[in-house]
A and B are shown apart, each in its own frame.
Chain A
Amino acid sequence: MTATLIFLALLMGAVVWWLLRQTFNVKPWVASAPSGAQQGVGFLAPPKVALGVLLAVITSLFALFVSAYSIRMELSDWRPLPEPGLLWFNTAILFVGSLGLQWAWRGAAREQWAAIRTGLVIGGGCALAFMAGQLIVWQGLVASGYLVASNPANSFFYVLTGLHVLHLLGGLVALARTSGHAKAGALVKTRLGVELCAVYWHFLFVVWLILFGLMLST
């Protein structure tokens, strides 16, 4: 459970630090007029905060899988499976998708619609290509006899890659909505959507790097 505990320790550390700043030297029992113009929705757009929280949840999910992986790996029946070279190519594709959305984000800040659109297309296209690539990897493995249930290493490989692809699919839904906004030329919504998608894409890329690294090294 080390991986999970490290993640949680970092998260809890951040929470405690943030809370200390909020509570240090504050006397809750003293009444005072409110300061600042904050009314209703706070100054950070709620969707951004929500994405942050969601990423913490997803990190927790993958950290737990990594923990389970490393515990299960120790047992004697573990036979590592060969990682097909195609995975390297897929990794590169995912990276390009991430870059594309970064570009769209930059474009959104400067109101360059062309950059936004291209970036969105690259991000979505690469995600689709990555998924297709993963599917081919799966087919190849199945064809050469590495079935899901024949060894725990295989089982983990399919579950982890499958789960990662599912998260990417969820991201594609958000990306489609953002593209809708971009098409309609709604700047504020597009900006927000592009930013959220870009962060999510980067996040899934990092998750993939960690998973891939883990599977390569074992």
Chain B
Amino acid sequence: MAQVAHDAVTDADLRPFEVAEEPLYHPKTFIGKYIWSQDAKVIAIQYGITAIGIGLVALVLSILMRLQLGFPESFSLIDPANYLQFVTMHGMIMVIYLLTALFLGGFGNYLIPLMCGARDMVFPYVNMVSYWVYLAAVLILVASFFVPGGPTGAGWTLYPPQAVIGGTPGTGAGIILMLISLCVFIIGFTMGGLNYVVTVLQARTRGMTLMRLPLTVWGIFMATVLALLAFPALFVSCIMMILDRLIGTSFFMPAMLAAGEQTAYDGGSPILFQHLFWFFGHPEVYIVALPAFGIVSDVLATHARKNIFGYRMMVWAIVAIGALSFIVWAHHMYVSGMNPYFGFFFATTTLIIAVPTAIKVYNWVLTLWRGNIQLTVPMLFAIGFIFTFINGGLTGLFLGNVTVDLPLSDTYFVVAHFHMVMAVSPVLVVFGAIYHWYPKMTGRMFDETLGKIHFWMTFLGTYAIYYPMHYLGFEGVPRRYYAYGETAFMSDSAQDLNAAISIAAIIVALAQLIFIYNVIKSLFSGKEAGHNPWKATTLEWQTPHTPPRHGNFDEDELPSVYRWAYDYGVPGAEQDFIPQNVPSEEMAAARGQGETKAES
């Protein structure tokens, strides 16, 4: 019905190829508002809760693994097959179902429309479907825990032939459900991703030029572009592996013996899978890193009351990192026996990508330099991120070199490296971001003291977990091992170290309960936050209602943007910040006289 009316208007008075803004869909019932919601903010929270929920499962899995590693004789519950299944599900859930979904589906949905000054995503219906498809993917994944044989234990990289052939846990229904779940996830993500990209490109409000976008939006935007282009590689490999597994094609599966019998497979190429997987896998690192980069930039500027250092450089660095991330993938394959010249090529590109990344780090530090630093909880997490990211980035430079990587490959050095750079760092940003936008999302402040306790326990705790792992790696302790037994190369202290790491891991896991308690408790008893507790400049803090209602801004008019997002501590200004939608005095005067020259 609404559509007919809509056509009647637009047919009559629009230029031929223009389409009017669709009227916002206004639900009346509870279900329409909070379940089948088309409001990006509600969808964001749905994404967030689902992602964090499944992330907690992955956290529990990591604790189970740590119990086994730290106290190998004591837990008869976990057998070697379980251990491999836990490693696999932990890794896959954390990378894809938690971080990717949370940054893009969660923060992307919440922040893109608000920060761009739009009422909603451009295709609210598709956006809603995207969430439900994501939920289906999560449920399929969870279902694999309950099928005979359990979930796949092939490692999150799912390398064939062992992912498919008997002997690895979960080669029955487990691997099939995993592959299907990934395909479903990718389809759901693509629906969401189209929304994020088109909203940033086409639905920015007046005056919001690209070069005035907050870096958060830039980070999420570029990460979405990467994901849209890189996920197809995972999709392709999943489809081919499903076919190998189900109908016996030989895309990846070589001729081989299994349990003494010749299999029907012939001539497939496991290396082909590795290429496809890492063609997705490396950009995936930046899919979770770029949003984190963007969010950190904004949090740092806001809480240091200073403009971000080198804004344009930051934008270009994001774009450069995004583009370069497609030509480094084979640095994950140095041990696959590739041509040394390829190794040289990929080592070089890997080192080159460090340049824009380093530029970003310098710019964050320079933003802090002589800033009016407020050590709020979000700021603590943002600064913690810089430390952790530098750590993980530096070990990345080591691993990027072929000769150094060969002995370290598949040891705990690698585990330490990637947890520092793509696990702990983005997770610190996730926490920082939740603390930063919590007042806007709920209208209430969280408990500052609990937040600080949470920060210090998490920050120091993760160092207690991952620092010693570098040393274990040097000793040659391999990853994805259930127990080490007696070996010649491991010192006696290595086992003590493993026990200590496990205790630290348990403490860190428990610290997350403080966070969850804080989030829930403050919902009811936190003090009123007001519209703009951090005195921030970006548009989401200028909404007439907190939390913002459906439609985000003033009923009749979207905000106009007069400046970039970083006018903090402007000399001569009344306050130490000027929101993006506040004109300067001359502009206001010009407007008052009706001389809206710029607008005519």
Contacts and interface: CB of A to CB of B under 8 A. Distances in A.
Given A8-B326, A31-B587, A46-B198, A68 B251 contact: yes
A144 interface: no
Interface string B554-591: 00001011111011000000000000000110010011
A64 B203 contact: no
B85 interface: no
B307 interface: yes
Given A33-B591, A152-B268, 13 more contacts: A12-B323, A22-B211, A23-B210, A23-B316, A39-B558, A41-B21, A46-B203, A54-B190, A57-B190, A68-B272, A155-B249, A186-B11, A188-B11
Interface stretch (A70-78, A119-127, A203-211): A70-78
B499 interface: no
B119 A40 contact: yes
Interface of B: 3-4, 7, 10-11, 14, 16-21, 118-119, 122-123, 190, 193-194, 197-199, 201-207, 209-212, 225, 228-229, 232-233, 235-236, 239-240, 243, 247-251, 264, 266-269, 272, 275-276, 279, 307, 311-312, 315-316, 319, 323, 326-327, 558, 560-564, 566-567, 583-584, 587, 590-591, 596, 598-599
B123 A50 contact: yes
Contacts, number: 204
Given A1-B279, A15-B319, A34-B206, A61 B232 contact: yes
B18 A61 contact: no
Contact of A34 (B225, B243, B561): B561
A42 B123 contact: no
User: By CB atoms of chain B within 10 A, which of A36, A54, A149, A152 has the most?
Assistant: A149
B198 to A, nearest CB: 5
B249 A38 contact: no
B335 to A, nearest CB: 19
A142 interface: no
A4 B233 CA distance: 10
Given A45-B18, A191-B16, A33 B562 contact: yes
Nearest to B580: A31
Contact of A72 (B122, B232, B251, B326): B251
Interface in A182-218: 184, 186-189, 191-192, 195
A176 B207 CA distance: 39
Contact of A64 (B233, B316, B566): B233
A35 B563 CA distance: 12
Contact of B203 (A22, A42, A184): A42
B202 A44 contact: yes
Contacts of B197: 49, 53
Interface in A11-69: 11-12, 15-16, 19, 22-23, 26, 28-29, 31-47, 49-50, 53-54, 56-57, 60-61, 64-65, 68
8 cross-chain pairs, A with B, having the tightest CB-CB distances, nearest first: A34-B207, A77-B267, A42-B202, A31-B563, A61-B232, A33-B598, A46-B122, A155-B249
Interface of A: 1, 4-5, 8, 11-12, 15-16, 19, 22-23, 26, 28-29, 31-47, 49-50, 53-54, 56-57, 60-61, 64-65, 68, 71-72, 75-78, 109, 148-149, 152, 155, 159, 184, 186-189, 191-192, 195
B14 A1 contact: no
B7 A186 contact: yes
Contacts of A29: 307, 311, 563-564, 566-567
B73 to A, nearest CB: 46
A63 to B, nearest CB: 8
Contacts of A16: 319, 323
B584 A159 contact: no
Contacts of B311: 28-29
A53 B225 CA distance: 9
B123 A23 contact: no
Contacts of A192: 17, 19
Contacts of A155: 243, 249-251
A40 B118 contact: yes
Given A31-B567, A60-B229, A22 B210 contact: yes
A75 B323 CA distance: 31
Contacts of B307: 29
Contact of B599 (A4, A35, A45, A65): A35
A152 B249 contact: yes
Given A42-B201, A77-B267, A109-B16, A4 B239 contact: no
A50 B202 CA distance: 10
Nearest to A37: B599
A5 B211 contact: no
A22 B11 CA distance: 33
A61 B249 contact: no
A142 to B, nearest CB: 13
Contacts of B312: 23, 26, 28
Contacts of A189: 7, 19
A71 B272 contact: yes
A75 B587 contact: no
A16 B319 CA distance: 8
Contact of B17 (A35, A72, A191): A191
Contacts of A42: 201-204
20 contacts: A31-B587, A33-B596, A33-B598, A34-B207, A34-B599, A37-B206, A38-B204, A40-B119, A41-B202, A53-B194, A53-B197, A54-B194, A57-B193, A60-B229, A68-B236, A72-B251, A77-B267, A109-B16, A155-B249, A159-B239
Contacts of B19: 41, 45, 47, 188-189, 192
A19 B206 contact: no
A1 B280 CA distance: 12
A15 B514 CA distance: 44
A61 B327 CA distance: 17
Nearest to A32: B562
A8 B249 CA distance: 29
A192 B18 CA distance: 9
Contacts of A149: 247-250, 264
Contact of A148 (B118, B202, B249, B563): B249
Contacts of B269: 71-72, 75
A188 B197 CA distance: 24
A170 to B, nearest CB: 11
A49 B202 contact: yes
Contacts of B207: 33-35
Contacts of B225: 15
B19 to A, nearest CB: 5
